[in-house]
Amino acid sequence: MLAPQSVKLPAGMIMRYRHFCIVPVLALAALLSGCQSAFGPQALERTHPAYNEAIISSINEQMLLNLVRMRYRDVTFFLEVSSVTASMSLGANAGVNADVNFGGGDSVSPSAGVAYSDKPTISYTPLQGEDLLNSILRHLELDPIFVLTQSGWNISRVFGLCFERINNLYNAPNASGPTPELEPAYEKFGQLMDALHVLQKAQLIEIGKREREGEEEEQDIVIKLITDNDRHRYEIDRVYDLLEIDRSEDEFTLNTDFLDMSNKQWTVRPRSISGLLYYLSHNVEAPTRHRGVLVTVTMRRSGGPFDWGDTPAGRLFKVRTGEEQPENAYVATRYRGNWFYIEDTDLESKSTFMLLRQLFDLQAGRTEPQVPALTLPVR
């Protein structure tokens, strides 16, 4: 048996091996430096907008899907995104593979690698039980409605969606549930909304809060009409005539007590979020083959199909349908073999959809947070 021999490599060969060993280390250092710049703050810049866009898109699609389900009298379901956790990791390795042939050529193969992973975990909370009752079925309160009118939303849009009655004017009250068979009452309410829209643009109507007389911590919502304007006399008179209010008054409190109505106040009946969703769902266009079979066709009292586009909500909201996936959709969902979508150029429908989202968030935000019932790792 031959004893192991130690071989001393030539100095030139040793220097070549050292050079090849340094190459992967330097390359790996440069690579890690670039990766580190993409981690930390830059990673947040890269991932935050992507998660934000994905969550908004999924919530919008869920809202549209539930509107379509209501049109078909199918069961609705809401999932709230309660948390998003992103875990990022970075790993690296470097090495040198060498083959030394005595008396022949020798070779050195440097190697370096970096492994990057992003593992988000999304938690969902179903809206059900008491949360559902508080968020969906309870009537909207006046304070959130007041806040919306003070934040840039048109009064006619807010009132036209949120109220199913003001004094003796009805805004399709039977539309707050599944699609009715007969046309609703809405014409005079629509005329009131038209007059309020004109008066607001002309800055002839104000809505504010005032401390209730004798109650320091209580405030009333007050509507003030500026009546000394001959240019808009017609709209001013229409408001007084339609609501049957006292012409000697120009300030009126907003309340919800129909057992104590008077001609010195505006008595309103707000819709619930569920009622508002139903009201808007009647403006979901249904394929011809589904009408009268899977969806109710509302009829006019004089005969013929009723057009929900004539109602205060129908003027402001429309969901289209088609067999092919739309290219110009603001939000779209597929259901029962068809695509349903809001056109990206339909600014009125987009604004109404945004208002619906804000109302839903205001109402849903009043519930106590629950432990997430469903947590999914995204792969």
Decide if 312 contacts 155 (C-beta within 8 A). no
Residue reference for tokens 């945004």? 354
Tokens encoding 104:
């022949």
Helix (H) or strand (E) holding 353: helix 347-364
DSSP E strands in 67-214: the ranges are: 79-99, 107-126, 163-166, 169-170, 205-211
pLDDT in tens, 3-50: 555 445 455 554 554 555 555 555 555 555 555 555 556 666 666 777
Whether the per-residue pLDDT at 306 is higher than 80: the answer is yes
Residues of the chain with pLDDT > 90: what percent? 59
330 vs 24, residue with greater confidence = 330
253 — phi, psi (to 5°)? -80, 150
What is the pLDDT, as a whole number, of residue 40?
57
When pLDDT is averaged across residues 215-236 and rounded to a whole number, the result is 92
The answer to whether the beta carbons of residues 164 and 193 sit under 8 Å apart is no
- Average pLDDT of span 361-378: 58
In which band, very low, low, confident or very high, does the pLDDT at 260 lie, cut at 50, 70 and 90? confident
Q: Among 61-70, 207-216, 289-298, 310-319, which stretch is predicted with the lowest mean pLDDT?
A: 207-216
What CA–CA distances, in Å, run from 223 to 149, 203, 237, 252, 281? 11, 13, 16, 5, 30
Mean pLDDT rounded to a whole number for the chain = 83
For residues 288-316, give the mean pLDDT: 96
pLDDT at 135: 77
pTM score, whole prediction: 0.79
Residue 321 has pLDDT above 80, yes or no: yes
What distances in angstroms separate CA 334 from CA 319, 323, 338, 341, one per listed residue? Answer: 12, 9, 6, 9
**φ, ψ of residue 74 in degrees (nearest 5):** -100, 165
Q: How far apart are CA 198 and CA 160, in angstroms?
A: 14
